[in-house]
Amino acid sequence: MTHIQPFVTRRQSMTSKMPAGIAIIPTAAEQLRNRDAHYPYRFDSYFYYLTGFREPESALVIIAATDKTPAKQILFCREKDQEREIWDGFRYGPEAAKEAFGFDEAYSIAKLDELMPKLLADQPAVYTMLGQDRAWDQRVVGWINRVREQMRSGVAAPGAIHDCRSVLDEMRLIKGLDELQIMQRAADISTQAHRRAMQTTRPGMREYQIEAELLYTFYRHGAQAPAYTSIVAGGANACVLHYVENRDELKSGDLLLIDAGCELDGYASDITRTFPVNGKFTAAQKDVYELVLAAQAAAIAQVKPGNHWNDPHQAALNVLAQGFIDLGLCQGSVEAVLESEDYKRFYMHRTGHWLGMDVHDAGEYKQSGEWRLLQPGMVLTVEPGCYIRPADNVPEHFWNIGIRIEDDVVVTQAGHELLTVAAPKSIADIEELMQ
C-alpha cells in the first residue's frame, strides 16, 4: 500500500491555506472505450495528490477549522461489495479506507448528494474544480441551492466559490523528497526503455515494433502505464511534433526520434532521444545533432535557483539561432534571426515544461506578468529541437532531419540535477551502444 503520511501532510497544508470554508475535490470518472468496455482507469491528479486513493467514484471533502470546530478531512468512496469484487477487484469501502488513508470520516459515495448540503451549511466559501466538468459544476451549485432553501431557518449558504487549483497548483509545483524519489524511479525505468530501443532498432523494422519494446520495458519494471502516447518517429515523421501513428518502416540512413516516458505511482517521466536507425550518424545529421545538444547544454546550465523560467529557453534559442546561421538555414545576425523569428521554421516550440503528476504539470509560468523564478524542488523538462522540412531555400542534405533531445531536470539548492542522465545522448555513446 502507498505510504500515506505525505498525503496526510498535503491535506493539512491545503487546510492551512484555506482561511475558511470547505473544499470538495472529486476524482476522475471512468471512461467508456466502447460499448461496455472501459479505458484503463487513471485517478484525477489533484485528488490523488491529496489522498493516495486510487479507486474511482470517490470525492474528498476538507473543512477548514473555525474557532469552535477543528478541521476535518472526509472521504466518500464506494461501498464494500463482495459481489462486485468478484467481477472488478478489491474495494476498500469507507470504514477500511478511513483507517488506511488517515481520514477523520468516510462515507459511501452514494450519500454524497444527501450529505453535502449539510456539510455546506454555514460555510462561507467553497473550493472546488471549477470549469473542468460541467456536470460537476452543476452538481455543486445544486448543493448550494439546497442550502439556500434553508435560509428562513437561519442557515447560511456559501457566499463564494473558489477554484481550488490556484492553491493546489502552487503546492504541486514544489516536489517533496517522496515525490522526487518516485520521479527518479520513473526516470530510471524510462531510461532503460530508451536504451533498449537503441539496442533493438534495425533498418526494416516498423515504428510500432520499437514502441512495443518501450512498453515492454515500462511494464516489466513496474510502471503502471506510459505517461503519454509514445512518439516513435522515423525519418520525415520526426518533423511532425506530435506524431503518434508509429506504423512506418525504419530506413537505413534515417534518424529515429523517440519521445516516451512511463508513469509510476502517479508521476511521469518524459525523455526524448534521437539516433540513427543504422547506428551511424551521417555528416549532416551530426552537424544538426551537435547543434541541438549544445543548445540543450546551454539551457540546462541556466536551470538554477533565482533564474527566471524563461532563461533556459532563451539560452537554447541563442545557440540554435547562431547554429542555423552557421549551417546556412538562416541569414543575418543572431539578433536579426531572433527578432524576425525566422528560426521558427526549424524550431517552433518552447524549451520545456513543468513535470510531475501530469506530463505538462500544474503551476503557473508567470507571476504578475513576469517569468517566475526557479526554486529548489521544481522539476522541468529541457527539450530543444530542430525540424527541417524540405524547402527551396533549405540545403537538400538537411531535408527531413528532425531532432529533439529532452531530459528531466530538478532544481536543487546548488543548481540542478538530471533525473535522466543515464539515457545516452552523445554521438559517441549512442553509436557505441548501438553496435
Is-catalytic flag, 245? no
Is-catalytic flag, 350? no
CA R_g for the chain? 25
Q: Are 217 and 189 in contact (CB under 8 A)?
A: yes
Helix (H) or strand (E) holding 317: helix 310-326
CB proximity list for 339: less than 8 A, separation 6 or greater: none
CB proximity list for 142: less than 8 A, separation 6 or greater: none
Catalytic residue (choose from 3, 35, 134, 242): 242
Q: Are 422 and 186 in contact (CB under 8 A)?
A: no
Is-catalytic flag, 270? yes
Amino acid in the structure at residue 425: K
Nearest CA to 346 among 233, 239, 236? 239
Catalytic residue (choose from 404, 407, 408, 416): 404
Is-catalytic flag, 360? yes
| Cα Dmax for the chain | 81
Catalytic residue (choose from 195, 353, 372, 389): 353
Catalytic residue (choose from 146, 349, 350, 372): 349
Is-catalytic flag, 349? yes
Catalytic residue (choose from 211, 254, 265, 406): 406
Dihedral angle over CA of 81, 87, 88, 89, nearest 10? 70
Q: Which three cell numbers stand for residue 134?
A: 460541467
Is-catalytic flag, 406? yes
Catalytic residue (choose from 207, 213, 254, 259): 259
Neighbour count for residue 107 (Cβ, 10 Å): 20
Is-catalytic flag, 311? no
Beta bridge partners of 76: 59, 107
Is-catalytic flag, 194? no
Is-catalytic flag, 353? yes
Catalytic residue (choose from 48, 172, 387, 408): 387
Q: Which three cell numbers stand for residue 364?
A: 503557473
List C-alpha distances in Å: 30 to 44, 108, 110, 120, 345.
10, 17, 16, 27, 41
Is-catalytic flag, 242? yes
Q: Which three cell numbers stand for residue 15?
A: 487546510
Catalytic residue (choose from 44, 179, 188, 270): 270
Q: Are 353 and 313 in contact (CB under 8 A)?
A: no
Q: Which three cell numbers stand for residue 20?
A: 475558511
Catalytic residue (choose from 33, 35, 36, 134): 36
Q: Indicate if the alpha-carbon torsion angle 63, 64, 70, 75 is positive or negative.
A: positive
Nearest CA to 426 among 198, 120, 118, 262? 198
Catalytic residue (choose from 360, 364, 370, 397): 360
Is-catalytic flag, 88? no
Q: Are 355 and 361 in contact (CB under 8 A)?
A: yes
Q: State residue 368 phi and psi, 5-degree precision.
A: 55, 35
Q: Between β-strands 255-260 and 231-234, what pairing exists: parallel, antiparallel or unpaired? A: antiparallel
CB proximity list for 284: less than 8 A, separation 6 or greater: 397, 398, 401
Residues designated catalytic:
36, 242, 259, 270, 349, 353, 360, 383, 387, 404, 406
